[in-house]
Structure 1
Amino acid sequence: MRNTLQRAAAPALFATVSTLALLTAAPVFAQTAEPTADEAAQVDDIVVTGTRVQNRSRLDTLAPVDVVTAQALQTRGTTEFATALAQAVPSLTFQRPSANDGTDSIRPITLRGLSPDQTLVLVNGTRRHASALVNVNGVVGRGSAAVDLNTIPTGALDRVEVLRDGASAQYGSDAIAGVVNLRLKEASSGGGASVTYGQYFTTVKTARGERDEQDGGTVTASAWQGFSLGDDGFLTLSAEYLNRESTNRSDYDPRAAANGGITARFGDPDVEQWTVFANAGKGLGNGWEAYGWAGYQDRDSEGAAFPRLSDNANNVAVIYPSGFLPKVAINSKDASLAGGLRGELAGWNTDVSLTYGRNALDFRTEDSLNATYGAASPTSFDSGSLIYDQLVLGADFSRAFEVGLSGGPLNFAWGLEQRWEGYQIEAGQPESYNRGPLGANTALTGGAQGFVGFQPSNVVDVDRDNFAAYADVEIPLTDKLRVEGAVRFEDYSDFGDTQTGKLSARYDFTPSFALRGSVSTGFRAPSLQQSFFTSTASVIQNGTVVETGTFPATSAVAAALGARPLKAETSTNYSLGAVIRLGRFDLTVDAYKIDIEDQIVLSELINRSFSPQVASLLDPQGIQAARFFLNGVSTSTEGVDIVGRYRLPTDTLGDFDFTVAANFNDVSVNSLPTSSSVLNPVPTLFARQRILTIEDGTPAAKVSAAADWSRDKWGATVRATYYGDVLQAGSTPANDYSTGAKTVVDLEGRFQLTERVGVAIGVDNVFDEYPDFVPGTLNSNGVLGFPYYSPFGFNGRYGYARVSLKW
């Protein structure tokens, strides 16, 4: 593990100096008076995440909450929601993996360096369904099945609230790192539309050469419209269409058959998608309201696997005389539907909801072949499907009680939740996995090259249910001291029950200064994807293709190799923070410690060559290696979040909004899984590469400084983000490479042509910054030009223009 203090020194100094600059900036301009009540309301954004007390601002909460408005998400070049959110929230990271099968298209976020599935995602306060994909390749978040944030367009959102604190006792499984709550737009009138076009224009400097690229052209068209439903209702419709061309940042291929050219495609996949959302609410009288929302997305994406050159043993020269580049294509259909009633019942604020979500992924392998069929092989394959769905019935109740406390009424909340989940794997066409007429030739690999289809032996159709009950009480002991306690009980049909709790407190010494802190326990139930996913896949290990079987932990093969039935991860979270408010300036500093036990991970590849016993297990399966999910990794995460903001309206130069935000984070692996295998010798279950990915696969420091300016019809944003060094570890130190510490600068200018028409032009990554390239000695085929662990990607400078309308 690297020295966190040493790595954090430079960005910490940067954050401190920037914050002091905000404090001292005021005398430079002619200022207006102190904030009005309306201005103060805008500063202290009202939040609903992490608290069940109404009209609580982000600066009054007992735990840190970031508020990111839709406008802030849209004043940047990217139209990809997860990328925009990661740029706005320093503790959140969004990598862009490539050459990693389905993870190229379904890309996960991480909060505070923890696993993607340890962050709970809500929509309007209700649990969002996860993707059907489980990440099984060498990426950050390996072994996780997380929510795909890119299934919701920014045009459908009013704001995003990010709770940076453990919240399992309040919201249930997955909320170990925190909670992301997506709040949909609620409009009964008006509307808007925008069209954005952008592309990369960059100089690519890899280990073996330099070239100019103009690629990744992206068109995004979005629109929304509000409709009134009588005098007390609304319907907001939104739609978005996105078409993005692929990028390529591969290095030159040094192999003889490549003739010194570029044979791979390493970068963003091709994507074409359309998304629609509806959000509605309607008064029913007597203080009751019906509400609901629905969304649907259809996404076609296509990423590339490793190239097969003309002299590759699995190439069929009659079909591909010059070799071929297999493509892994996914069609993702994502649907959600929710409805509910809220009002007052016997003095209790009542909210009853029913939410359904479904994600279906259909895999195709294109521009490929099955070598065991020879010249008769298809070149396009239906490779099977993954399907996950979830139904949640929830009932929440809250009530304020006057108990004679000087700080005000006690607020008590409680609720019940019943959840049903289902998971399916469907097989592909036989040619996508079979060994054909030439299958007796063991030098040939069976199945579709690049992505082997799911087999009949992989077919799964499973479900489970769980019941939960919680209670939450917030007590204002005095007008300065508030405490909150929450407990939750959950019972799962497949692994049993669990209990969690949380205790929080806040003391306001003055209106300008407060301390807050919390202690909580948390949990994350093993997902159905982790419990039942099974496949045979071509996995790249040290540059070599290894036919690998992924087995459920309860299977005979996994049990013989050392697996046990999965159980829930558990955590203990500690946080302590301060809130400072001085006029138009506010600053929050929150330190945290998160201890996780029994984290679920994907094991190492256990090769048949390990021992004759392992070979006897794997040979009947027709595979060279095996892996499975298991508990047993324990980690400690320590860090601090700093967020400062200063607003400066002036009489002559316009209005300024300065923000400095930073996250310093250190993850340590404390213990590893033990094996129950009776084999001799016992295989290693979790080794160096996986350990270092957890510890050093996300930046230990991320600091962002931004300034927004507006005056009359003009506006501009400049943003600089510092990313600490990230290690992409190999199986040995000689195979390690890293991104280097980098700073990325973004710039956008805006002009309002008329009251309804606005234009913007900008450049993300103005100075064309890249992570350090992969050394040529570690890139024998030229595929991996740059580390795909890079927290800001590896595509270079991006220019864009946007036209927006409002009515």
Structure 2
Amino acid sequence: MTSRLLPGLLLTISPLGLLAASPASAAQPGTAAQQPPAPTTASAAPEDQSATSPESTIVVTGTRRTDRTIADSPVPIDVIGSEALASSGLGETNKILNNLVPSFNFPQPSIADGTDVIRPASLRGLAPDQTLVLVNGKRRHVSSLLNINGTVGRGSTAVDLNNIPGLAIDRIEVLRDGASSQYGSDAIAGVINVRLRKSPRGGKAQVSYGKYITQLEDVPQLLSLQDVGGTAVVSTTDSRVLVGNYGSDRKVRDGALLTLGANIGVPLAGGYLNVTGEFRDRDATNRAGFDVRPNYIRPTAAVDPRELSFNRLNFRLGDPKTRDVNLIANAAVPIGADGFEVYSFATFADRKGRSAANYRQQSSVNNRDFSTITPSTTPSNANFTALTPDGFLPEIASRYKDWAAALGVRGALAGWNVDLSGVYGHNQIDYRTENSLNTSYGTTSIRNFDSGGLRFNQFTANLDVSREFNAGFSKPLSVAFGAEYRRDNFKERPGQRESYAAGPLFIAPVATTAANCTTLGGVYATATGICSFPGRAAPFGAQGFPGIPDYARLSKSRSSKAAYVELDTDPLPGLTTTIAGRVEDYSDFGSTANGKVALRYEFIPAIAIRGSVSTGFRAPSLQQQYYTGFSTNFINGLPVDIVTFPVSSAVSSALGAKPLKPEKSTNVSAGLTLNPLRGLTVTADYFHIKLKDRIVLTENLGAFGSGTSAQNTAVQAILTANNLSGFGAARFFINGLDTTTSGLDAVGTYRWKWDGLGSWSLSAAYNRTKNRIDRRLNALGPLAQIPGLVLFGRVEGIRFEQGQPRDKVVLSADGNVGKFGVTARTTRFGRVISPGAAAPLINTTSVTDYGPDDLVLQPKWISDLELRYSVGPVQLAAGANNLFDVYPTRRPFGPRPTTVGGSYPIDAYYIPYSGFSPFGFNGRFLYGRVSIDF
């Protein structure tokens, strides 16, 4: 496992540390050290413990003891068994966890560039990169993708759990408590430990197939446009759209998902080799509404006759098309005669994805041929010439590869358990932008672009040492210590020049003389001395996904060294204590020390209280420090080209950026555990997490919706001064917030077995989480003279505080009666606010008031059902996810109420659902599965 070292002061003052400091003290008569446990090879306990009780399920997350169970853990832990992971047709580990773990959130955004294919998840309402993911207790590398668009997890990197299929997993342990001092400085929200299968014999093969059979909610089918004399009619209530004839809500059959998988275990020289392979082929889904905007240019008020025959379902909103190949291997072999073993595990993932950007209309500036007008001519409808006859839908084709390999040796040495390991992980993403064009090249533009790629590599070496001593306590004293070395590397690979460059139809404004401006063919402004070229203002970069520019090429590395110590015992009957600490030194941020104390006291049998206090530290990722990239965001339905700069760039410095500092956290939790009846366990835990200097991505500075006209003008002036006048906005990372996250987790589980009625497990879980911004650290620097400018403003603030469900309830029942099995589950996702760009109507500069386009996503219940029948080794299953075909609240469209005035964003017509929906917006999924054990 990853490691931490207890600061010397903590070791000195701790009575447990005094007793443990000298191994000789444990060797006194009557206090002989206990023998270490045998290595976990083929003789290990049965893998599937999903049906066992919390009193007997051993956990390895949250402690380095070998006998700690869920029931006597001083910190809250969820254990998801392999059967629970298999009882779903969703095919993605993140989606399954979203329906099982109440504090886990996995929205499924669309039209969000790379985030469509690699979607981030969060724990306890914190950022995806504030949860540490382990595989077999070893740190898992994050994705190279930085989520920079308007989604939950904006500005963070995340581990892609979908690389590890459920068939390869023995179980998942979710530690819902700060654990920076035990596992990693970034384990602020908690730890997710994926334990791979290690069976030395037998296996399972399965095939599943399903698709969405659904009817969209509040999205009626467009039958035709209203036709008067061979011409479409403009709406009298909303002049932005054409009048349509509609039927009932649109019915859809799409998103077919085929999954083929097999797991097999074989003995290997007295140990085991367990291998899993999975192939997953998913078709795209589309939940877009109909785009009833006039598509063709209108030189006059007349509507183009082609509008009547144009395909109005021109957007794609939903899951991208993906094809995945995943391979997992897990092995261990005894060596020598001293109980040592060599172990290894490896993962490989290859994913091809294809998602869509926003549709570019025929009349769009992105589709204009600027070569037909002179540099000094102002573009108008009258002089418009289209590059493509009907517009185009850019597609983003991604090739994603991920692999990791671990090699280690563990065993008993001089009475100590010793584990020495090394893990290397690599993630890469390459992009192609297809069916697109670079408008600034006009008719000579190519249509398909290599848009560049990202790389992230991580090497981690660990030494973990542990031993138990009979120190006169109620239970032996477990002493663990170790060290860790880690090296990270992040790279950006530029795309081909045409994917990002400005072609001949874009000329930036220049400061010059009137005579020279005339020579250049521009328009001279005497008041400013600026020569502009309105007829050479073509957007540049590949439409939909601009390429990574050559000046963004980089390879940046850093290293860290850490050491930890952990002490765990029951000093008195019923009193459990864990004390841990860690020191860590980063090559770019210096040193930090973190500690943790966790207690559990069972004051009467079956009733206990527990709590913990811990500190944490998270250094900014290499991606947050160095990433440079372009993207096109649609704000209120209008395209805005945005550039993300590293904090060290001249533009970021001019906008007030400063070198990033690490985040620091304090985590306090307190809870109660009850075991009043055999098989019944109830836990309730309160948590309170304070974060200082939280790293966030700024607003899209300079874009409509991020500030006043004067503020945006000032930002645009800085972009122009840095030869970036073609971009509509800029953003960068800042230590922008001090925050508090607090909430409650409650879980109840009851397991029983009745003769004739089979075995059953009932569970109820509840989570309530509140994120609060305590302080905005608005260090404006050079922009301080602009009144009211906020780097992290209203939209991002609402996304942070209310962009995830305030509460979540999971009720489930799982049973087996003879050859029949059933799993029934219903999950209530609480209220979410999806912020719009428009400012509040009254207090227009408020960073907390709601605006007229902010959408309340109402609470929804999502129900799943699976039925199973087993005949010998063969099992047949059929089920439904989102059985009752529930959709999130539909975005309002058209004119706003007269008391508000104006109109809702135009994109609400054709993008009916918000990407903030915590359960997505795909509707009912029906599936069947056949599996065979051998």
Same-fold call, TM cutoff 0.5? yes
Distance 1:783 1:461 in 2: 40
CA distance in structure 1 between the partners assigned to 2:88 and 2:204 by the alignment: 17
What is the aligned counterpart of 2:448 among 348, 370, 380? 380
Counterpart residue number, 2:493: 426
Q: How does 1:64-143 map to 2 (within 5 A)?
A: 64-143=76-155
The residue aligned with 1:364 is 432
Contact kept in structure 1, 2:55 and 2:72, CA below 8 Å = no
How far apart are residue 42 of structure 1 and its match? Answer: 7.2
> For residue 286 of structure 2, what is the aligned residue in structure 1?
248
Residue range with higher mean Cα deviation, 253-262 or 467-476 = 253-262
SS at match of 1:727: strand
Give the equivalent residue in structure 2 for 1:759: 876
Cα distance, 1:779–1:268 mapped onto 2, change above 3 Å: farther
Whether the 8 Å contact between 2:647 and 2:659 is mirrored in structure 1 is: yes
Aligned to 1:592: 687
User: Which letter maps to 2:716?
Assistant: A
What residue in structure 2 maps to residue 792 of structure 1? 919
Number of the residue aligned with 2:855: 737
Q: Is the 1:208–1:776 contact (alpha carbons within 8 Å) kept by the matching residues of 2?
A: no
- The number of residue pairs the alignment matches comes to 768
In the superposition, the TM-score normalised over structure 1's length comes to 0.93
* Secondary structure class of the residue paired with 1:46: coil
The 1:653–1:611 alpha-carbon spacing in structure 2 relative to 1, beyond 3 Å, is closer
* Contact 2:276–2:327 (8 Å) recurs in 1: yes
1:772 maps to 2:889:
yes
Match of 2:25 in 1: none
Query: How many angstroms apart in 2 are the aligned matches of 1:673 and 1:647?
Result: 50
Distance 1:586 1:79 in 2: 30
Aligned match of 2:641: 547
Number of the residue aligned with 1:703: 809
Structure 1: distance between partners of 2:126 and 2:729: 28
Query: 2:766 aligned with 1:662, yes or no?
Result: yes
1:331·1:362 contact (CA, 8 Å) conserved in 2? yes
Where 2:118 maps in the other structure, the secondary structure is: coil
Are 1:437 and 2:504 matched, yes or no?
yes
Q: Does 1:330 align with 2:398?
A: yes
Q: Deviations over 1:678-705 (max 9, x none)?
A: 2321642000111111111111111011
Which residue is 2:258 aligned to?
219
Q: How far apart, CA to CA, are the structure 2 residues paired with 1:606 and 1:229?
A: 59
Is residue 2:326 matched to residue 1:275?
yes
Separation in 1, partners of 2:590, 2:780: 22
Question: By how many angstroms is 1:707 displaced?
Answer: 0.9
Segment of structure 1 superposing worse, 554-563 or 594-603? 554-563
Distance 1:758 1:318 in 2: 58
CA distance in 2, matches of 1:141, 1:449: 24
3-state SS of 1:735 partner: coil
Q: Which amino acid aligns with 2:692?
A: E
Mark the runs of 5 or more structure 1 residues left unpaired by the alignment. 1-36
What SS does the corresponding residue of 1:73 show, helix, strand or coil? helix
Tell me, in whole angstroms, the C-alpha distance in 2 between the residues paired with 1:442 and 1:785: 35
Aligned partners of 1:252, 1:779: CA distance in 2, in Å? 14
Whole-angstrom distance in 2 between the partners of 1:152 and 1:329: 22
Q: Which shifted more, 450-459 or 772-781?
A: 772-781
Q: 1:290 to 1:253 in 2, by over 3 A?
A: same
SS in 2 for 1:276: strand
Q: Is residue 505 from structure 1 mapped to residue 603 from structure 2 by the alignment? A: no
Residues 1:646 and 2:750 aligned together: yes
Alignment of 1:237 onto 2:275: yes
Output the amino acid matched with 2:793: A
Q: In 1, distance between residues paired with 2:564 and 2:857?
A: 44
Q: In the aligned structure 2, how far is the partner of 1:595 from the partner of 1:461? A: 33
The 1:636/1:237 distance shift into structure 2, 3 A limit, reads same
SS of 1:341 mapped into structure 2? strand
- State the Cα distance separating 1:541 from its structure 2 match: 2.6
Residue of structure 2 equivalent to 1:583: 678
**Contact 1:266–1:785 (Cα < 8 Å) also in 2:** no
Paired letter, 1:244: R
Q: In structure 1, what is the equivalent of residue 20 of structure 2?
A: none
Counterpart of 1:218, as a letter, is: L
Q: Deviations over 1:2-53 (max 9, x none)?
A: xxxxxxxxxxxxxxxxxxxxxxxxxxxxxxxxxxx99866763211000111
Give the CA deviation at 1:261. Answer: 1.9
The yes-or-no answer on 1:556 pairing with 2:642 is no
1:297 corresponds, among 325, 349, 355, to: 349
> Which residue identity does 2:885 align to in structure 1?
D
Higher strand share: 1
Q: Does the CA contact (< 8 Å) of 1:588 and 1:643 recur in 2?
A: yes
What is the match of residue 803 of structure 1? 930
Cα deviation per residue 1:291-342 (whole Å; 9 max; x = unaligned)? Answer: 0111111101111111011212222687632211111121110010100011
Residue by residue over 1:783-804, the C-alpha shift from the partner in whole angstroms, topping out at 9 and shown as x without a partner, is 4211111111101111000011
Q: CA offsets, 1:255-299, max 9 Å, x none? A: 012658222101000000101111000111311111011111110
Partners of 2:420 and 2:758 lie apart in 1 by 46
Match of 2:786 in 1: 681
Deviates more, 1:508-517 or 1:169-178: 508-517
**CA separation of 1:320/1:205 partners in 2, compared to 1, >3 Å: closer, same or farther?**
farther
- Tell me, what secondary structure is at the counterpart of 2:482? strand
3-state SS of 1:360 partner: strand
Q: Deviations along 1:449-483, whole A, 9 cap, x unmatched?
A: 00000011111111000000111112321111122
Query: Aligned partner of 2:494: which letter?
Result: A
d(CA) in 1 for partners of 2:217 and 2:172? 37
**C-alpha distance after superposition, 1:750-769 (max 9, x if no partner):** 011x3111110111111110
Measured in 2, the distance between the counterparts of 1:791 and 1:688 equals 21
* Alignment partner, residue 530 of structure 1: 624
1:321 matches 2:365: no
- Residue number in structure 1 paired with 2:480: 413
Answer whether contact 1:201 1:799 (CA < 8 A) is retained. yes
Q: Give the conservation status (yes or no) of the 8 Å contact 2:54–2:70.
A: no
Aligned to 2:361, the other structure's residue is in SS state coil
RMSD over aligned Cα atoms: 1.7
Report whether the alignment pairs 1:146 with 2:183. Answer: no
5+ unaligned residues in a row in structure 2: which ranges? 1-48, 222-248, 296-306, 369-384, 508-534, 704-708, 840-850, 895-903
Do the aligned residues in 2 keep the contact of 1:313 with 1:443 (CA within 8 Å)?
A: no
State the structure with more CA Rg: 2
CA distance in 2, matches of 1:554, 1:641: 41
Which of 545, 555, 566 lines up with 1:461 in the alignment?
555
- 1:16 corresponding residue in structure 2: none
Q: Secondary structure of 1:776's match?
A: coil
Matched, 1:637 2:741: yes
Measured in 1, the distance between the counterparts of 2:460 and 2:833 equals 39
Given the superposition, is the C-alpha separation of residues 681 and 208 from structure 1 closer, same or farther in structure 2, using an over 3 Å criterion?
Answer: farther
Moved over 4 A (4+): 37-43, 316-319
* Cα pair 2:582 2:594 within 8 Å, conserved: yes
Whether the 8 Å CA contact 2:463–2:482 is kept in 1: the answer is yes
Q: Secondary structure at the match of 1:168?
A: coil
- Greater shift in the superposed pair: 614-623 or 658-667: 614-623
Q: In structure 2, the residue corresponding to 1:249 is in which secondary structure?
A: coil
Amino acid at match of 1:169: S
1:34-53 matched pairs, under 5 angstroms? 44-53=56-65
* Normalised TM-score (structure 2): 0.80
Does the CA contact (< 8 Å) of 2:636 and 2:906 recur in 1?
no
Which residue is 1:602 aligned to? 697
Mapped contact 1:253–1:780 kept (Cα < 8 A)? no
Structure 1 residue 779: deviation in Å? 4.3
Q: Could you tell me the percent identity over the aligned residues?
A: 43
- Give the secondary structure class of the aligned counterpart of 2:312: coil
Preserved contact between residue 328 and residue 366 of structure 1 (Cα < 8 Å): yes
- Flag the 1:42–1:600 CA change in 2: closer, same or farther, 3 A: closer
Distance across 2 between alignment mates of 1:40 and 1:435: 63
Which residue of structure 1 aligns with residue 826 of structure 2?
720
SS of 1:607's equivalent in the other structure is: coil
Instruction: Supply the AA of the counterpart residue of 1:233.
Output: G
Answer with 76-85 or 678-687: which moved more.
Answer: 678-687
